[in-house]
Structure 1
Amino acid sequence: MKQIIIFIAFIILLSCSDKKKSLEVIDKPNQKINQYLSFAQDESIASENRIKYSDSAYFELQFKTNDSTTRRNYFKVANRYFSLYELDKYKNVAAKALQLGKSSKDSITIAKALSYLGDYYFEKARNDSAYWYYNDAEKLYKNINDKENLAKTILYKAYVLLYEKDFLGSETATIRALDISKGIDDDMLIYECYVNLGSSLLGLDNYEKALYYHSKALIQVEKLKKSFFYDIFKAQTFNNIGLVYQKNKLYKKAIDNFSKGLKVKNLLQLQPVVYSALLDNLAYSKFKLNKEEGLEELNRSLFIRDSIGNIAGIIKSKIHLSEYYLSKSDTTKALQLNNEANSLAKKSSYNQEILTTLDLYTKINPKTGLYYAKKYIKLSDSLYDLERATRNKLARIEFETDEIIHENEEISSEKKVILGVSILVAFIGGLLYIILFQRSKQKELLFTQQQQKVNEEIYQLMLDQQVKLDEAKNNEKNRIARELHDGIMNKLASTRLNLYILTKRTDEETIQKCIGHINEIQNIEKEVRAIAHELSNNVFSEKSNFKSILSELLIEQQNLYDADCEYTIDKKIQWDNVDVEVKMHLYRILQEALNNCNKYAKAKTINVSIVKQEKIVTLQIRDDGEGFNVNKAKKGIGIKNMLQRISAVNGELNIESEIGKGTTLFFKIPIE
């Protein structure tokens, strides 16, 4: 992922360079400013002096009138600062250009300044702000029909979504940008869209589609032979294809593509970042294929990355070398390299690499595995929460923008309708007044009454529709809450109980077993992300033998918890004939009841009975636990969910409990 983001930043830098070239116009009245700008662009001059020339050009601009030439020069200064990575100065100049554009009502300047500010915030990893500015720029480019910049801005939004791991959203936005790019035959934009589509689909683990788009990018790059960056693009595309094969564990094909990328002429001199990435990926694939290979290339890649100060690359190289030495049982060298990678990742705030090093610690030194496993879980959870919060922000920005546009369109449409109707009514009224004053008065009054009645009916329909929408929203929220509580929470509780043993036993065997449950937590994360799919009834309709599903749940109860679980399921029940919704609610009720027994009852024995009497299925759950006062106990979310589920299938629930004598739940569910 870090290599993908570096490539995106590289593309944005190229874009800024293109913007800069398009703005370079000789202007005699501004010769002094142009001279400063020329010196600031001269790479033979030391960076600190180029910054001073850029400062001088910016200073001179303060005294210029707000005309189109001045505004163009502001963008030239901004480009100089960006190429020198003086980001804060770049932001100040872009903000000033935005101010001038607004005061002169110059939509082109406003849109360009918004796009520049988006680049600044994306470079600073403040992606919600970047998305906001790109979104506003997109609206303006659409209004002025600037299709090239519109496509670029939509693609930049896709980059933000990719960075935030909203791979589906990034794919959707990139397809929009690709459609526009094809319409204007922009070969560079088409290439960039193919690359980002491949990266988005790789994030979704759709290897086949990712290869399809990266292969199209490889074909498309041949149309860019006249570009100075042709060789770099070609090498990067081979690297992208190799990464897909590497992630899919097809190491021979990965090695073949990384090797092709390294064969690009003068790549080390042209772009050492891409060259070292290809070399590292080649070495790592060789190592994964054959534990005896790859060391020489890994060390050479680290040397190149260290010489150019490529922090992300240095971290990646040291992680790969640590894995190599670990495979050779050289834990001292592996630990040293992993410590260096972890320290550098923390200093540079590369959170994904921090997670990788924490995972490596558990393998290098299993005795301290529990400590690092806890740190891994804590960081992983915090990163997930941060990613989810940012994605929610981006979704709100998109939604609120669409809503405002829709409202403005409605208002504009209403004004046109009102104006048209008013003119028509005035014309007819005036004509009828001339013909017959009294009759026109009567008709006007009748028209007004009818219009009022229609308006009242429309208003009532709107109120009714809103009530239905609110009711549907509440029902859906309640349904999702039940599914989260009955499904996800139970799995989390089970995982927590399995990890609880670590508070009592910390031997190596126990730690190794418990580390495996971290993967279960990751599976639960995936299940939450796919909640829209998991909340469907498919899990019960795909398996015809519902009895085996119930048995698996009860066997899992017996294996995971201290209480003995005894159960009987009536063989006469023809589950295939029972409605899928009834089976789903029955399963969730049983799951919640068992969870309550495990959490609160402290029972030694649990008895479960499922029997059929005529057209009624009776579910009985009895435990010998602590019991409770049915009349005084508060109904928690678990009991409420069970009541809602039993009500959904027109069933009955009866609870019998007494303190110290256990609890019995009776569920009666009608079936056809």
Structure 2
Amino acid sequence: MRELFSFTAVKRLLLFVALLSLINCSRTKKDDNFGSDKIITDFNVTLQEIDDLEQRIPNDSLRLTILSKLSLEYLTKDSTLFRKINAATLNLAKELSDDNVAANAYWDLAYFYSRASYLDSSYASYYKAYQKFNSLGNEAKAGKMMLNMAVSQERARDYVGSENSSFKALELLPKTKKKDIYAVHNNLAIIYNGLDDFDRAVEHHKLAIDTALEINDQELLANSSNNLAVVYLENGFYNDALGYVKQALAVKDLKQIDTELYAMVLDNYAYIQLKAGDSKDFLKTSNRALEIRDSIRHQAGMMVSRIRLGEYYLDAEDTTEALSNFKMALALAEDEKNAKYELEALLKLHNITGKQEYLDRYLVLNEQLLNDERGIRSKFARIRYETDQYINKNKSLTERIIWISFAAVVLLFVLGLFLVLQRQKANLTEARMQNSLKESNAEVFKLLLDQQKKVEVAAVKERERIARDLHDGVISRLFGTRMALGFMESDNPDTQTHLKELQDIEAEIRNVSHNLASNSLTSEDGVEKLIKKLIDTFNAHTSTSFELSISRSIDFNTLEDSVKISIYYILQECLQNVMKHANATVCKVALNQKGKTLEGTVQDNGNGFEVKTAKQGIGLANLNYRITGLGGVLTIQSDSSGTQMSFSILI
């Protein structure tokens, strides 16, 4: 039977958590400073079910989620069950090192203590929640916890401590958290009013009003307008007080929005009018406020109403009614253990009756209250000190662990570095040999290109020499012989025929001479053949595949000799750069003519280079010099995927 009951209980718990997750997407709870949202359901669990939870749900993460949800749900329902659930949540969160859940559990516990007016315990739990949220980098929630700490300090009349905590909260809270910022200014105003710092109290109440207007929150506007009216009232500025209390009353549907606040504003309105000398409507308005407070069982508000009614009757010289109201206020304060209004009622009764009994009770209670407040303020300081000491102790231990770990890491690093250096030394030796071989190959290739250039130059010179010899020697002698024979008179037709043949031979030799002279680097098809031969040479002696594309639109015959020679050497320099530095597998060379512009492109898929740095090198400087010397432009684009060198020359 127990097994069936437990299984059903677990199912109910899981269903409950699922419903909470759907309804309550973000963790909401009541703060000490102003109202809240709370989800109340009809779901109930028992202490026994909480005790059995670990056995029935062995999954720690799931169990922690359930406990965290239950902690929030039972915060205001059942104090015994809440403390049980909350303690289990904190213990499991600590085991799982889940600081976020722990922070929220401390938040629940702090609010629980705050509702019960255990200000020191509330402060301690808020402080622990603050530390958790702060360590998680959640400044918004850390700021909210600091604000709640400030409110706890203000309630204990630790005004200096509350002021410091309030400004710390302002530093932490994001600018978008307007309601929390409002609450900070509201708390600071209450602090400064308690310190009799009228100007600063007014300043922060007005900042709170500005914030309420900024977010268009009518309830907060009414609250701060009422608070500011009280400050002006206590300092004798009745017209200003009346203006702000009317502003609070003007909030639409305030009674429906917050009945307790509405009764407070109504009572303050009547009391301010009384202090300003207008008492005709006081009884009617004050009694109306009292009725509302009685209907909602707002005991503290009823105490205020009774004390103010007593003051009214005292001013009207109706001592009997005055005493009756002061005694009712005293009885309410004693029942509710409200020391503030108990002191006020005792003092009023002593002033009217002159009885020493009331004064003695006042002095004893006031001294007790002062001692309690001093004790709580001392606890606040001790809580922060002890917590900080604990943190510092853990920090010191953590630092020792870090240093030991660091020493071990350094030792391993040194050992690893030694092995790496040994390996690098071997790799460096191998790399040097490879570089030496590469440099040797490059030098051999350069010599090959230089030799090819010398052969080409020698061939050109030899062709030019033969052309000159034919032109200046053979052609001249043939011409002389033909002319001499021509002057000899002869009617023999064979003679004329031979003269004609000599003339044809002379023309043929002249053509041969001309062709020899022009069949060089500067001839129409000579430069194209040499470029192709250059590509073939690079393909034969490097691992890069060079591809050549020469557009038919190029008319090499129209190019000047200097341009042809420069194009050849420009391409040669570009290809040498690819061979030496690119580590490319493919290089594409293209020549094209567009109108009066000759365009060339050398593109590879190598590793690229830093263009700004490379331009300072001799090779690219010479290349740029050749191109600009022809009135052209050199463009280089390079990244990790390859390099493209482009040039354009006006022809």
**Against the structure 1 CA distance between its residues 301 and 147, is the aligned structure 2 distance closer, same or farther, given a 3 Å change threshold?**
same
- Name the Cα RMSD after superposition: 3.4
The CA deviation at 1:86 is 3.7
**Against the structure 1 CA distance between its residues 267 and 68, is the aligned structure 2 distance closer, same or farther, given a 3 Å change threshold?**
farther
Residue aligning to 1:234 = 221
The CA deviation at 1:362 is 1.7
Alignment of 1:548-587 (within 5 A): none
**How far apart, in 2, do the equivalents of 1:410 and 1:103 lie?**
22
Q: Which amino acid aligns with 1:144?
A: L
Q: Does 1:271 align with 2:258?
A: yes
Secondary structure of the equivalent of 1:379?
Answer: helix
- Of 117-126 and 132-141, more deviation after overlay is shown by 132-141
Residue aligning to 1:409 = 395
**How far apart, in 1, do the equivalents of 2:211 and 2:100 lie?**
30
The CA deviation string for residues 431-467 of structure 1, in whole angstroms up to 9 with x for no partner, is 9xxxxxxxxxxxxxxxxxxxxxxxxxxxxxxxxxxxx
Q: Does 1:247 align with 2:238?
A: no
Q: Which amino acid aligns with 1:202?
A: N
Secondary structure of the equivalent of 1:290?
Answer: coil
Q: Does 1:133 align with 2:121?
A: no
- Of 69-78 and 374-383, more deviation after overlay is shown by 69-78
The CA deviation at 1:231 is 2.2
The CA deviation string for residues 607-628 of structure 1, in whole angstroms up to 9 with x for no partner, is xxxxxxxxxxxxxxxxxxxxxx
The CA deviation string for residues 39-72 of structure 1, in whole angstroms up to 9 with x for no partner, is 999xxxxxxx967523379948934344545434
**Against the structure 1 CA distance between its residues 168 and 67, is the aligned structure 2 distance closer, same or farther, given a 3 Å change threshold?**
same
Q: Does 1:385 align with 2:339?
A: no
Secondary structure of the equivalent of 1:55?
Answer: coil
Q: Does 1:281 align with 2:274?
A: no
Residue aligning to 1:399 = 385
Contact 1:37 1:77 in 2 (8 A): no
Residue aligning to 1:304 = 292
Residue aligning to 2:45 = 55
Contact 1:168 1:204 in 2 (8 A): no
**Against the structure 1 CA distance between its residues 141 and 33, is the aligned structure 2 distance closer, same or farther, given a 3 Å change threshold?**
closer
Alignment of 1:292-331 (within 5 A): 292-293=279-280, 294-331=282-319
**Against the structure 1 CA distance between its residues 87 and 198, is the aligned structure 2 distance closer, same or farther, given a 3 Å change threshold?**
farther
Q: Does 1:119 align with 2:107?
A: no
Of 188, 203, 218 in structure 2, the residue corresponding to residue 212 of structure 1 is: 203
Residue aligning to 2:149 = 157
Residue aligning to 1:337 = 325
Contact 1:242 1:255 in 2 (8 A): yes
Residue aligning to 2:462 = none
Secondary structure of the equivalent of 2:43?
Answer: helix
The CA deviation at 1:405 is 2.5
- Of 421-430 and 341-350, more deviation after overlay is shown by 421-430
Q: Which amino acid aligns with 1:308?
A: I
Q: Which amino acid aligns with 1:309?
A: R
Residue aligning to 1:373 = 359
The CA deviation at 1:430 is 14
The CA deviation at 1:364 is 2.0
The CA deviation at 1:94 is 2.2
Q: Which amino acid aligns with 1:262?
A: L
Contact 1:134 1:156 in 2 (8 A): yes
Unaligned 5+ residue runs, structure 2?
Answer: 1-10, 26-38, 418-651
Contact 2:72 2:108 in 1 (8 A): no
The CA deviation at 1:158 is 0.7
**How far apart, in 1, do the equivalents of 2:276 and 2:227 lie?**
19
Residue aligning to 2:347 = 359
Contact 1:36 1:53 in 2 (8 A): no
Contact 2:47 2:81 in 1 (8 A): no
Secondary structure of the equivalent of 1:205?
Answer: coil
The CA deviation at 1:416 is 4.6
Secondary structure of the equivalent of 2:174?
Answer: helix
Contact 1:37 1:54 in 2 (8 A): no
Q: Which amino acid aligns with 1:71?
A: L
**Against the structure 1 CA distance between its residues 121 and 335, is the aligned structure 2 distance closer, same or farther, given a 3 Å change threshold?**
same
Q: Which amino acid aligns with 1:195?
A: N
Of 194, 197, 202 in structure 1, the residue corresponding to residue 188 of structure 2 is: 197
**How far apart, in 2, do the equivalents of 1:268 and 1:374 lie?**
41
**How far apart, in 2, do the equivalents of 1:52 and 1:330 lie?**
52
Residue aligning to 2:638 = none
Q: Which amino acid aligns with 1:74?
A: L
Residue aligning to 1:96 = 88
The CA deviation at 1:348 is 0.4
Identity of aligned residues (%): 27
The CA deviation string for residues 296-322 of structure 1, in whole angstroms up to 9 with x for no partner, is 221111010001110111111111111
Q: Which amino acid aligns with 2:290?
A: L
Q: Which amino acid aligns with 2:43?
A: Y
**Against the structure 1 CA distance between its residues 40 and 406, is the aligned structure 2 distance closer, same or farther, given a 3 Å change threshold?**
closer
Contact 2:17 2:69 in 1 (8 A): no
**How far apart, in 2, do the equivalents of 1:101 and 1:245 lie?**
49
Unaligned 5+ residue runs, structure 1?
Answer: 1-26, 42-48, 432-672
The CA deviation at 1:93 is 2.6
Q: Which amino acid aligns with 2:364?
A: K
**How far apart, in 1, do the equivalents of 2:413 and 2:168 lie?**
46
Alignment of 1:7-22 (within 5 A): none
Q: Does 1:258 align with 2:248?
A: no
The CA deviation string for residues 339-387 of structure 1, in whole angstroms up to 9 with x for no partner, is 1110110010000111000110022223x2x221122111111111111
Secondary structure of the equivalent of 1:114?
Answer: helix
**Against the structure 1 CA distance between its residues 132 and 28, is the aligned structure 2 distance closer, same or farther, given a 3 Å change threshold?**
closer
Of 5, 9, 14 in structure 2, the residue corresponding to residue 30 of structure 1 is: 14
The CA deviation string for residues 72-101 of structure 1, in whole angstroms up to 9 with x for no partner, is 443443444345x54443333322322332
Contact 1:166 1:391 in 2 (8 A): yes
Residue aligning to 2:74 = 81
Contact 1:58 1:74 in 2 (8 A): no
The CA deviation string for residues 83-136 of structure 1, in whole angstroms up to 9 with x for no partner, is 5x5444333332232233223221111111011111111111111111121121
Contact 1:114 1:133 in 2 (8 A): yes
Secondary structure of the equivalent of 1:190?
Answer: helix
**How far apart, in 1, do the equivalents of 2:229 and 2:78 lie?**
34
Contact 2:71 2:86 in 1 (8 A): yes
**Against the structure 1 CA distance between its residues 191 and 424, is the aligned structure 2 distance closer, same or farther, given a 3 Å change threshold?**
same
**Against the structure 1 CA distance between its residues 111 and 359, is the aligned structure 2 distance closer, same or farther, given a 3 Å change threshold?**
same
The CA deviation string for residues 153-208 of structure 1, in whole angstroms up to 9 with x for no partner, is 1111111101100011111101111111136x322221221211211222211121
Secondary structure of the equivalent of 1:160?
Answer: helix
Q: Which amino acid aligns with 2:133?
A: Y
